[in-house]
Amino acid sequence: MSIPEPASPSWDEAYARDAPAPWDIGRPQAAFVRLADSGLLRGRVLDSGCGTGEHALLAAARGADAVGIDISPLAIERARGKAAGRDVAARFEVGDVLSLGQLGMTFDAVIDSGVFHVFDDDSRARYVASLESALRLGGTCYLMCFSDCQPGDSGPRRVRQDELRAAFRDGWTVASIAGETFALNPGLGITTAQAWLATIRRLCRS
Ligand code: SAH
């Protein structure tokens, strides 16, 4: 089944409501805090589909040169406000993560918190190609998505481990996929969701 990719205005709408969007919890997801604690969010770090920027801000606060990209101008405005308010040097730009090559930048690491799972099958392939154009050879993508262990159908599409492995089959190594938990605002009727955290390396060409 293919779920239509929402147009950008609908993402802005998600950020314009009175209640914060389910994923917009005002702090980084614990899984990414652990990665930062392990020193893995270093160098040039891209927060892909950054929303209001918590993961780019996390990486920047730990010394990374962090950039957040999101298609929602409202989300980017909020992210910039947080960076200024917290005096953290993360940069934020409105952009399409399906066309990261247009940025003309390459990164040592990419953070994807809840973005891969928003794309339909066609956009998923475009997204992986786009990530490939933005990540240096040997760089790592840390991707957290809703997992097929999450019951019910509230929220984004569920992703199976084999789908992750298939999506990143060519030119990548899926180093690990671990069970994790998303913390959520109550909007979806759930405050946590089962997730996969995938560590995926862009292969160096021989
Ligand atoms: N990573 C953020 C937001 C996750 S929600 C967090 O953890 O809070 C998914 C995000 O992807 C939304 O902010 C949405 O605006 C963004 N998004 C969806 N399609 C996009 C696209 N094609 N390019 C850039 N951002 C996109």
Between residues 14 and 204, the one the model is more confident about: 14
pLDDT at residue 1, as a whole number: 41
CA of 79 to the centre of ligand 1 (A): 12
Q: What are the CB-based long-range contacts (under 8 Å, 24+) for 168-173? A: 168/128, 168/198, 168/200, 171/132, 171/202, 171/203, 172/128, 172/132, 172/200, 172/201, 172/202, 172/203, 173/200, 173/201, 173/203
Q: What pLDDT digit, counting tens, does each position of 17-32 carry? A: 999 999 999 999 999 9
CA–CA distance, 164 with 161 (Å, rounded to integer):
5
Lowest mean pLDDT among 2-11, 54-63, 129-138, 172-181: 2-11
Q: Is the CB of 118 under 6 A from ligand 1?
A: yes
Mean pLDDT of 38-65: 98
Return the pLDDT at 188.
83
Q: What is the pTM of this model?
A: 0.95
| Nearest of 98, 85, 3 to residue 52 by alpha carbon | 85
Mutate to test the pocket of ligand 1, among 52, 118, 141 (most ligand atoms within 8 A of CB): 118
Nearest residue CA, atom 20 of ligand 1?
71
Give the separation between CA 78 and CA 197, rounded to whole angstroms: 26
**Residue 182: CB within 6 Å of ligand 1?**
no
Does ligand 1 have an atom closer than 6 angstroms to the CB of 113? yes
The helix or strand, by DSSP H or E, that contains position 76, with its residue range, turns out to be: helix 73-86
Instruction: Say if ligand 1 is within 6 A of residue 70 CB.
Output: yes
Q: Which atom of ligand 1 is nearest to the CA of 21?
A: 5
pLDDT for 206: 52
Q: What is the pLDDT of residue 9?
A: 67
* Centre of ligand 1 from the C-alpha of residue 187, in Å: 17
How do residues 102-126 score in pLDDT, each as one tens digit? Answer: 999 999 999 999 999 999 999 999 9
Does position 132 have pLDDT exceeding 70, yes or no?
yes
CB 174 within 8 A of CB 198: yes
pLDDT of res. 70: 98
97 CB near ligand 1 (under 6 Å) = yes
Share of the chain above pLDDT 90, in %: 91
Ligand 1 contact, 11 CB (< 6 A): yes
pLDDT tens for each residue of 151-202: 998 899 999 999 999 999 999 999 999 999 999 998 788 999 999 999 999 9
Cα 97 to averaged position of ligand 1 atoms, centre (Å): 8
Cα–Cα distance for residue pair 131/91, rounded to 1 Å: 18
| Mean pLDDT of the region 49-77 | 98
pLDDT of residue 203: 92
